[in-house]
Amino acid sequence: MSDPRPIGVFDSGIGGLTVVKALRELLPNEKIFYLGDTARIPYGSRSPITVERYSMEMADMLTQESAKIIVVACNTASSVALPKLKENLLVPVIGVIEPGARAAIAATRNGHVGVIGTRATIKSGAYEQELRRLSPDVRISVRPCPLLVPLIEEGWLDDELTDRVIARYLGPLVREGIDTLVLGCTHYPLLVHAISRALPKTVSLVDSARNCATAVRELLVQEQLSAPLANSAGLEIALTDAPDTFLGVARRALQLDIGDVQLREVLHAVR
């Protein structure tokens, strides 16, 4: 069986496009509908109940676009809203945390994994819980990095200030002896070169976006939802507020072919 409907992907801003880029590379014949909640970015500083509500609203909007699967391309939303999304939606839902944790356990050599993310993601303990479920003896060091998303959204990807902020955040993790670092926010792959400069060459980076895309491919096959080979693939992007720097950063950093961007009013869910 095959299914030509689009894959629905959402995030609070530009970060989820790192997942979209990986999906387009792995699944070139799939249609993708991306919804960025730019009116309410960042999610990382919001309360869990607010993130849960925002996530349900984004998922409902993607359902109205006939999405055959919902990809929560946001670590913050994945860490607090995934159970409610799975409980309430009729299509499969996948987040970024489990795929990233699996990749980290496979990558570590000394059993010491570091995780960076938004305050909400780190506070939730979701990565620690998943990493310990997969490997009970793993050592974990975590670090919230709240300044990185605003720097990325401003387009400051190759900037001395950004390098200094990254070095300040990562210094303690390096001193604690991690050999693997999970980029626990889908924005962070946009800073992969700057992050690599702040780490010893012995530290492996785990990109949650790419590992999420691989998990999506596996789920589509498992659920018999893959698009037909002759499917007319395409990318549609909708935002909940004016793009501002969004398009420039996305085109420059990700080399994505982005056409017209739609503006959508948030549909407020009542559940």
The total of other beta-carbon atoms located within 10 Å of residue 238's CB is 18
Query: Of the residues 17, 23, 74, 142, which is catalytic?
Result: 74
Beta bridge partners of 205: 181
Give me the amino acid identity at 136: P
145 flagged as catalytic = no
Looking at the DSSP assignment, which residues form a beta bridge with residue 238? 35, 262
Say which DSSP state 68 is in.
S
* Burial class, 132, CB count within 10 angstroms (exposed 0-12 / middle 13-18 / buried 19+): middle
For residue 114, give the 3-state DSSP assignment: strand
Strand (E) positions, the chain? 7-11, 31-36, 69-72, 93-94, 112-117, 139-144, 180-183, 204-207, 234-239, 261-263
Cβ distance 198 to 114 under 8 Å? Answer: no
Exposure of 13 in the CB half-sphere (CA atoms within 13 A): 30
Marked catalytic residue, from 59, 145, 173, 185 = 185
Distance CA 183, CA 132 (A): 17
Smallest CA-to-CA distance from 234 within 13, 15, 27 is with 27
Beta bridge partners of 261: 237
| Active site residues per annotation | 74, 185
